[in-house]
Copies of this chain bind each other. A is one copy, B any other.
Amino acid sequence: MNPVKPLEKIRAILRRKKADAFLVTQPENRRYLSGYTAIDHSISESSGVLLIPVAGIPLLLTDSRYYLQACKEANGYKVILVRTSLVSSIKQVLPQLGVRRLLFESHYVLHSTAVKLEELGRQQNMETVPVHGMVEKLRTIKTPGEVEKIRKAVALNERVFQEIYGVLAPGQSEKEVAVAIESAMMLKGADGPAFPTIVASGVNAAGPHAVPTDKIIKEGETITIDMGLKLNGYCSDMTRTVVLGRTDKRTREILTLVRRAQLSALKTIRAGILASEADRAARKIINEAGFGRYFGHGLGHGVGLAVHEAPYLNRKRRNQLRAGMVVTVEPGIYIPGWGGVRLENMVVVEEGGCRNLNRDTTFLDL
């Protein structure tokens, strides 16, 4: 039995919503549905959109910079060359498709573009209907092929980490280490970093989103390294907190506590539980040790074509985890004036449990 392709699932939703076509502007959604890999550097500099009719050949509209790439990559799509503007090209092709009801991605279309689309709708007697997260919801459940791509990204991430950790030494600056990590990612074949690498040492790690500074790394302090890369479009995301030289008692206690919280979540996660239950499993351990107020963020998030995507695992989320979801498990403790500890692995949710995608055990086995 062939699995149902994402494009067919989208068309089933279009039929259900009685829509004739769907305009896809979100870059990862565009890639997911078409295989077209171009990257957008900002929402104002789009490298193309999909226009998917409920039946017939789907279209990819892009300009001369990306035309050849789109033809090569977007199998099954007809590529339309945009000469002046995306909206004017959409205007030209819509009548041929006979679209009366067009869905568009409200969460990734600029207001100024939506105004033009709505104007076009009035001219062509076509209803424009905003939708939210329709493709993102499909993207939460990974196929075995996608899980394998993510696993390879995680494996490359670990090779880069181990190379840099192997030469990590007092006297290096946070920024030097971060630059070395991102260079190694590129040279080992990653598409690039999935997000700006965090290297935060000592008190600098007291915030979960520290930016690497010129601070020199010293013996005995915690060093939080949070790094992710993209490989063939799929992301990894991993955090290790390490210490050079002797680890003092308090640091060891906090590291052990965070690891225990992570293990508790890993034991809890399986298809069918609520996202909030996974969060609670980790938070309970940290709360009971009296550190609850220092764990200010959620337990994790989905990872796939985007490094932060649904599902989100935190106290409030009542959505069920389902088999094939890939999520991070990343409890942390951040103490102002002292520093921070975070440990982050990625797992695949399965029936009855979850499968760790990480092999690296640096500082996890204290």
Chain A residues close to B by CB (< 8 Å): 41-45, 64-65, 104, 106-115, 130, 132, 175-176, 178-180, 182-183, 186-187, 192, 195-196, 207-209, 296, 308
Which residue of chain B lies nearest to A192 when distances are taken between CB atoms in the complex?
Answer: B196
- Picked from B42, B111, B114, B187, the residue with its CB within 8 Å of the CB of A175 is B187
Residue pair B107, A110 in contact (C-beta under 8 Å): yes
A132 to B115, CA, bound (A): 12
In the complex, how many angstroms separate the beta carbon of A287 from the nearest chain B beta carbon? 19
* Residue among A41, A114, A308 having the largest count of chain B Cβ atoms under 10 Å: A114
- Picked from B64, B106, B175, B180, the residue with its CB within 8 Å of the CB of A112 is B106
Please give, as numbers and ranges, the residues of chain B lying within 8 Å of A179 by CB-CB distance: 183, 186-187
Please give, as numbers and ranges, the residues of chain B lying within 8 Å of A130 by CB-CB distance: 111-112, 115
Residue pair B107, A207 in contact (C-beta under 8 Å): no
* Residue among A108, A111, A179 having the largest count of chain B Cβ atoms under 10 Å: A111
Please give, as numbers and ranges, the residues of chain B lying within 8 Å of A41 by CB-CB distance: 195-196
- Picked from B65, B113, B296, the residue with its CB within 8 Å of the CB of A64 is B296
Please give, as numbers and ranges, the residues of chain B lying within 8 Å of A182 by CB-CB distance: 182-183
A45 to B43, CA, bound (A): 12
Q: 7 A-B residue contacts at CB 8 Å?
A: A43-B108, A65-B207, A109-B110, A112-B130, A112-B132, A176-B187, A179-B183
A182 to B64, CA, bound (A): 27
Which residue of chain B lies nearest to A128 when distances are taken between CB atoms in the complex?
Answer: B111
Residue pair B111, A109 in contact (C-beta under 8 Å): yes
In the complex, how many angstroms separate the beta carbon of A13 from the nearest chain B beta carbon? 18
A277 to B64, CA, bound (A): 24
- Picked from B64, B108, B178, B180, the residue with its CB within 8 Å of the CB of A44 is B108
In the complex, how many angstroms separate the beta carbon of A195 from the nearest chain B beta carbon? 7
